Amino acid sequence: MRRRNVNILLTGTASDSHTWNLVCLQLFLEELGYPVRNLGPCVTDELLTAACAADRPDLVVVSSVNGHGYRDGLGAVRALRGAGLRTPVVVGGKLSTAGRPDPVQRGRLLDAGCAAVFDDGDTGALRAWLDTAFGRRAVA
């Protein structure tokens, strides 16, 4: 089942060299019917901005497992907004090294222009957000 007109750009953060999170997340999104372009790990703000400008995705999904997702996600969304790109961005994963969600950091990500922020491993919340944002209509 492929979702109508919804292309996702998936990316790791600039300081995160982990790949399995991106592979698993790509498979998860594709099983839900979304076409995904995976930029991979260690994606700089400049590379992400250029990819968004070229591909014009419907959604950017930023994933982090190294504990620097807040800092790197904030930089990424600010770079996109600074370049005039209004693509919805969601950030999730391990956002801090504190080991627990920080509501202040979550608020700053949302204020910077993130459409949603997800806790580490909460694919149910991501799926619910996607269903709300893009609906369940599939292309035959």
pLDDT value of position 139: 41
128: left (phi over 0), alpha (psi -120 to 50) or beta: alpha
Q: Where are the domains of the chain?
A: 9-133
pLDDT value of position 40: 98
Q: Which residues of the chain have pLDDT under 70?
A: 1-4, 136-140
Angle at 117 between CA 113 and CA 119, to 5 degrees: 165
pLDDT value of position 105: 94
pLDDT value of position 135: 83
CATH fourth-level superfamily of 9-133: Cobalamin-binding domain (3.40.50.280)
pLDDT value of position 2: 56
